[in-house]
Amino acid sequence: MLSWKWLVTAATLLLVAACVIEWPFARPAATQSLLAFANAAQVRVADTTPSDQVINASATRMLDEGRNIFRFDTFGSEAFWSGRLRLHQAVGGARFGGIGTGVSPATALSVGLKVDSEVLPPAITAAIRSGSLDVNDPANTLALLQLRAVVGLTGRVENNQLTSLGIQCALCHSTVDDSVAPGIGRRLDGWPNRDLNVGAIINLSPDLSAFTSHLGVDDATARRVFASWGPGKFDAELILDGKAFRPDGRSAATLMPAAFGLAGVNLHTYTGWGSVTHWNAFVANLEMMGSGAFFDPRLNDANRFPLAAKAGLGNVRKSPDLITSKLASLHYYQLSIPAPTPPSDSFSPRGAERGRDLFNSTARCSSCHVPPLFAEPGWPMHTAAEIGIDDFQSSRSPDQRYRTTPLRGLFARQKGGFYHDGRFPTLRAVVDHYEQALNLRLSEGDKLDLVEYLKSL
């Protein structure tokens, strides 16, 4: 009895003490308010310190510069396309200082060139809409070039003559939304131009000796190779290994890939040659034939890249260097282009939901296409055998593998098919391929759902 009373008294005393002085085990008041302050601070936009402002201004500047470079910088490639191939002469035609009939707007559109409607004077847009612009007159092609309206091509017109032509990244990696007419509309940067027939454009050139001497073939053979590419395709490895055709006799060219939705992905191109900025330097120097510097000693391997090794493409130093100073902003802009969102009526939301579950479970897609990147964080490379196809294209690259393609915005690159060479004409064909290659057990309904999910990405 006594000890019970004593306990109650002690507890009461402690309680009173806790109220009067502060309970020693509670959080000190100072820490509490610091935490509350930190929580509130997290929602503030970090742009208030001088250092933040410097970073923000740099981001804006690089984005603007990068967009400009992507759309309009030729990197001095006129020296090749005009100086060597004399492509400008064929485009201008005899009337404008060149040769032949010249290229009309109708012909330009038919080989997949696109017209940026935003820079057209309203009167011209109206004439296009009403069909009163003469699309068969090469003079109008010159006018479009002068307005900088031909996506990815820069032409200089002096004294009524087309004196040079250069090319830009946007030639292959932008299209337009057709809002004025087919092939004429607002720019869509990063969307691959799957109509563009690069081979047919190169073949307009009167002089292919730059290619024939590099490839070691005659003019007719070079023209046959370029003609074999077809719309939406280009062969970036041809000048490295001289392989123009696959063992089955079909063209070795690959589809123009998306240049959107690439941020966070480690390696680029279908076969993972390097980062975006590696490839930008590669393309600007070796494919667009701009004037700059490029270093990649992997190209010195004469067994695998005989033409590159012979021509010294593994270490290029051209003067003046019009490329290196552009790489940072170009890289930044490239990574800033998000994948476009598919129109909401272009897939079934219910089917897509079921498809997502399959994608992440029994169909095993997410083992490689890890959402939300849809490629593996890390080293996203696989052998041909792992994805159940031949190794022709992978064997033309340093790591001899295929890079897991990030899948967002698939709807914007359906034309020409899927996989690097467009071998699967539809998403259904891709799913059928995986079912067989990965030995999946998918019902007909499962496959339809997977396709709806892919369309929704």
Nearer to ligand HEC, 93 or 417 (CB): 417
Q: How far is the CB of 173 from ligand HEC (least distance, A)?
A: 5
Contacting positions for ligand HEC (CB under 6 A): 167, 169, 171-173, 198, 234, 236-237, 254, 256-257, 259, 262, 268-271, 276, 279-280, 283-284, 288, 330, 334, 363-365, 367-369, 382, 386-387, 402, 404-405, 407, 410, 413, 418-420, 427, 430-431, 434, 450, 454
**What DSSP line would sit under 203-241, residue for residue?**
TT-S--HHHHHHHT--HHHHHHHHHHH-TTEE-TTHHHH
Q: How far is the CB of 204 from ligand HEC (least distance, A)?
A: 14
Nearer to ligand HEC, 58 or 367 (CB): 367
Nearer to ligand HEC, 303 or 439 (CB): 439
Q: How far is the CB of 130 from ligand HEC (least distance, A)?
A: 33
Q: How far is the CB of 268 from ligand HEC (least distance, A)?
A: 3
Radius of gyration of the chain (CA): 29
Q: How far is the CB of 384 from ligand HEC (least distance, A)?
A: 8
Q: How far is the CB of 360 from ligand HEC (least distance, A)?
A: 10
**What DSSP line would sit under 253-285, residue for residue?**
-EEPPP-SS-TT---BTTTT-B-HHHHHHHIII
C-alpha–C-alpha distance, residues 403 and 37, integer Å: 45
Q: Is 309 left (phi over 0), alpha (psi -120 to 50) or beta?
A: alpha
C-alpha–C-alpha distance, residues 332 and 313, integer Å: 25
Residues 300, 314 contacting (CB under 8 angstroms): yes
Q: How far is the CB of 393 from ligand HEC (least distance, A)?
A: 7
C-alpha–C-alpha distance, residues 81 and 23, integer Å: 82
Nearer to ligand HEC, 140 or 189 (CB): 189
Nearer to ligand HEC, 162 or 196 (CB): 196
C-alpha–C-alpha distance, residues 394 and 334, integer Å: 24
Nearer to ligand HEC, 120 or 407 (CB): 407
Nearer to ligand HEC, 93 or 192 (CB): 192
**What DSSP line would sit under 131-192, residue for residue?**
T-S-TT-HHHHHHHHHTT-BTTEEEEEETTEEEEEEE-THHHHEEE--SSBTTEE-EEETS-
Host H or E run for residue 57: helix 50-72
Tell me how far apart the 2 most distant CA atoms of the chain are, in Å: 121
Nearer to ligand HEC, 125 or 360 (CB): 360
Residues 227, 233 contacting (CB under 8 angstroms): no
Q: How far is the CB of 125 from ligand HEC (least distance, A)?
A: 27
Host H or E run for residue 403: strand 402-403
Nearer to ligand HEC, 137 or 390 (CB): 390
Q: How far is the CB of 139 from ligand HEC (least distance, A)?
A: 26
* Tokens encoding 48: 């208030």
